[in-house]
Each structure stands twice: as C-alpha cells, then as structure tokens.
C-alpha cells in the first residue's frame, strides 16, 4: 500500500481539528487494490478511544444499497421476484389499497409516492417489543401516499421498510439472516452485520454516535435510527453495521462483476446492470444514488455512471464504474450531536482532492 498523500492526509486531520467529525476512516481503492486506508481522530470523544481502520460504524442508510438492495437482487436471481411486479401481487395485504399498483422498481427508485419519513418509533415504543413488527407493518399499510406513484422522486425510508417485508416473506428468512448467508458469507465478509435490540456482546470497537435525547444514552454499537431501533434493530432502511474494508470488498466484487471480469455467486451480471442503470430524469439507480448534476456529494469528478450512497451518521461510499475506483468515507459526525452538518461541505471537497490526485497519477 502506498503512503497516504500529504494533501489528503492534511484535509482529514484538519476536518477532525475543525470538528467536522470526531473521527473518520478514509479508504480508496483503484482496480481492486487499496491505495489509501487511514483512520483519524476519535471513535469516542468521552473515552478518548482512537479511530482505527477496523472500527465498526453504524452505516445508517448505507443499509439500503449494501443489504436490502442486494437481497432484492438475489430474489430476482432466484426467480422469486420481478422488479416490475406490483406490491399487491407480492404482499396480498396491500390489495384494494392505494398502494396496490406500486411496483418493486418504484420502491427501489424512490418514486413510489410514499412519504420520506414518519416517526413511527414514538408509537411503537409504547407497545411490547413482541408486537412491534406487526404494528409497524399495519402502519405501513395504512400510511397515505404523499403523491401518486411514479409522479416524482422522493427519497423514502418507508419504501425500504416495505422491501424488507417483501424480502423476508419471499425468502422465508429474516433480512439479517438472508444477507449474511447469501451475500456476505460467500465473500468471507464478517464485518457487515445487523445488531438486534438488545445487542448481543460482540468483539470489535464501535464508533460512538449520538447522545440520544429520546433514549437518554450515548449510542455505541446500538443502532442510531429510531425507527430501526423500535423495530428491533433490523430494518430495510437502516440497521447495518460495518467496516470500511468489508464495504470495499463487497463493492469491489460488484465492480468486477459489472465489467465481466469473472462470474460470482453473489449476483448475476445482467441483474447488476439493470440495478445500476440511471433511472430516467433522476440522480438514482435502483437502490443506489448516482452523482447529481449540481452540488453532488461525490464532487465534480466521478463519472455520471458512478454509484454510491450517503448515511445519516456520516457514512458514504462512491464507486466510479468507468475508472474502477472506490472512495469510502466513514465518520461519526453525529457524535455527540446530529446538529453538526459540516460534513455536507467537506464530502465533495475530499472526493475532489482524491480524484484529482488519481487523475494525475500522483498516488
């Protein structure tokens, strides 16, 4: 592995000093080889635990592209699901409702008409844990659409909660069990996983997130997202934990498959290509983000066919499908408070710096 570039190293150190985030891990891979991999700052400001390359992060919405979407891909591969199927055809409880004709494609592309977010946790946590899943699913069935399906794009956690329901119904397994057995285990990935509530003991160091005013505790190894927490820790929109290195291994596998370099057991190339196609008139693929034309978090230099995603806790990855380049930035920017949003300015800057260095062969 080549030495970290001084400019990029300084940018990360300055971000910690300027309190953009308490700590972070930056990993850059080119053509399947890691060329940057460094940790900065603190995993926990209070214990002064240092961030390290193997720190485990609450990945937040990276759950969507790294767990839920690949699980949908596997169901398509197994012939158990077609993305053009409607919600009413897959889950009979949605028949004779306004959501009956929503397609699986629309759920993945965030143009299903579902609202972006609802604080279901406030009501769910008044119920016994044993009945929360049923209660949540009843809420999803009854939730009014924000607009007609297909009319516009609105990023929606609710759509991915429903996708989890579909995955578990068709696979006969919980989302965490299905992703572990059919996606992570074949690649030897031991550091991409969900954590049930209450979390079982697990080796490894977790990056702390928020001092949660609702739970009245510092979160460290417990899912930050309130709805995922109330649902038991495993949800389609949030709940995944992981390390930069295992994210890199998974995304690198996808890039190799996309370019036909080899046959893989985790997804067929023709399916992956469908999911990575930009949806007309949007900055989204199916289950993944793509660089927007203006003010993209990916910066200015990722190709328009790149795929990636952001996570609320301060996590992100971007993969340039043309250059076979991956940039993973994992931070605990919500530690100790979610009010810190400085990462919005920093993300595109660090991505631009990395891309400039690689473009002039400076690494």
Residues 258 and 133 in one domain: no
Residues 227 and 276 in one domain: yes
For 328, phi then psi, to 5°, come to: -120, 120
Specify the pLDDT at position 92: 97
* pLDDT band per the 50, 70, 90 thresholds, residue 263: low
Query: Considering the domain boundaries, does residue 75 fall inside one?
Result: yes
Residues 143 and 99 in one domain: yes
Residues 340/333, Cβ–Cβ less than 8 Å: yes
Using the 3D structure, point to which of 176, 208, 243 is the last residue of a domain: 176
Instruction: Look up residue 266 and give its DSSP letter.
Output: S
Mean pLDDT across 28-41 = 96
Residues 24 and 121 in one domain: no
Where residue 219 falls (left for φ over 0; alpha for ψ -120 to 50; beta otherwise) is beta
Query: Considering the domain boundaries, does residue 1 fall inside one?
Result: no
Residues 8/299, Cβ–Cβ less than 8 Å: no
Is the Cα torsion angle 295, 301, 306, 311 positive or negative in sign? negative
Report the CATH number that the domain containing residue 48 is assigned in CATH.
3.40.710.10
Query: Considering the domain boundaries, does residue 315 fall inside one?
Result: yes
Query: Considering the domain boundaries, does residue 122 fall inside one?
Result: yes
Query: In a 3-state reduction of DSSP, which class is residue 37?
Result: strand
Q: Does the pLDDT value for residue 121 go beyond 80? A: yes
Query: Considering the domain boundaries, does residue 183 fall inside one?
Result: no
Using the 3D structure, point to which of 129, 145, 176 is the last residue of a domain: 176
Residues 171 and 75 in one domain: yes
* pLDDT band per the 50, 70, 90 thresholds, residue 97: very high
Kindly give the interhelix angle for 343-359 and 6-17, rounded to the nearest 10 degrees: 170
Measured between alpha carbons, how far is 266 from 250 in angstroms, rounded to an integer?
9
Using the 3D structure, point to which of 144, 176, 208 is the last residue of a domain: 176
Residues 14 and 89 in one domain: no
Residues 26 and 104 in one domain: no
- The string of DSSP letters for 270-283 reads HHHHHHTSPPTTSS
Residues 277 and 229 in one domain: yes
Instruction: Look up residue 220 and give its DSSP letter.
Output: S
Residues 121 and 261 in one domain: no
**0.95 exceeded by pTM:** yes
Specify the pLDDT at position 358: 87
Query: Considering the domain boundaries, does residue 13 fall inside one?
Result: yes
Residues 171 and 246 in one domain: no
Query: Considering the domain boundaries, does residue 224 fall inside one?
Result: yes
Q: Does the pLDDT value for residue 185 go beyond 50? A: yes
- pLDDT tens, position by position, 188-220: 999 999 999 999 889 899 999 999 999 999 999
- Percent of the chain topping pLDDT 90: 93
The tally of domains found in the chain comes to 2
Query: Considering the domain boundaries, does residue 184 fall inside one?
Result: no
For 16, phi then psi, to 5°, come to: -65, -45
Residues 247/62, Cβ–Cβ less than 8 Å: yes
First vs last Cα of the chain: how many Å apart? 10
Residues 100 and 38 in one domain: no
Q: What domain range is 108 assigned to?
A: 68-176
- Sequence-distant (6+) residues with CB within 8 A of 352 are 299, 300, 301
CA angle 231, 316, 19 (to 5 degrees): 100
Residues 349 and 256 in one domain: yes
- pLDDT tens, position by position, 224-248: 999 999 999 999 999 999 999 999 9
């Amino acid at each position: 592995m080549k030495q970290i570039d001084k400019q990029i190293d300084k940018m990360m150190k300055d971000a910690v000093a300027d309190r953009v985030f308490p700590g972070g891990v930056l990993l850059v891979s080119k053509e399947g080889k890691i060329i940057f991999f460094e940790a900065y700052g603190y995993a926990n400001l209070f214990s002064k635990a240092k961030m390290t390359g193997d720190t485990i992060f609450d990945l937040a919405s990276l759950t969507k592209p790294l767990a839920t979407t690949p699980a949908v891909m596997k169901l398509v591969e197994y012939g158990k699901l077609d993305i053009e199927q409607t919600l009413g055809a897959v889950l009979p409880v949605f028949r004779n409702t306004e959501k009956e004709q929503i397609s699986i494609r629309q759920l993945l592309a965030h143009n299903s008409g579902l609202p972006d977010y609802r604080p279901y946790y406030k009501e769910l946590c008044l119920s016994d844990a044993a009945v929360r899943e049923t209660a949540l699913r009843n809420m999803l069935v009854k939730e009014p659409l924000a607009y007609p399906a297909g009319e516009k794009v609105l990023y929606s956690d609710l759509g991915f909660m429903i996708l989890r329901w579909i995955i578990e119904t068709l696979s006969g397994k919980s989302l965490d069990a299905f992703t572990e057995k059919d996606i992570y285990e074949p690649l030897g990935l031991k550091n991409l996983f969900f954590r049930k509530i209450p979390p079982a003991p697990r080796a490894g160091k977790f990056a702390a997130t928020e001092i949660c005013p609702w739970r009245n505790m510092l979160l460290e190894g417990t899912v930050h997202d309130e709805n995922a927490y109330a649902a038991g820790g495993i949800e389609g929109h949030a709940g995944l934990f992981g390390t930069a290195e295992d994210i890199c291994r998974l995304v690198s596998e996808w890039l190799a498959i996309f370019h036909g370099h080899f046959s893989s057991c985790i997804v067929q190339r023709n399916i992956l290509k469908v999911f990575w196609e930009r949806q007309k008139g949007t900055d989204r693929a199916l289950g993944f983000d793509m660089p927007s034309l203006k003010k993209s978090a990916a910066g200015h230099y990722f190709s328009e066919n790149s795929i990636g995603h952001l996570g609320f806790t301060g996590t992100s990855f971007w993969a340039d499908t043309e250059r076979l380049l991956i940039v993973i930035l994992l931070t605990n920017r919500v530690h100790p408070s979610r009010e810190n949003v400085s990462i919005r300015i920093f993300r595109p800057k660090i991505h631009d710096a990395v891309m400039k260095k690689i473009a002039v062969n400076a690494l």
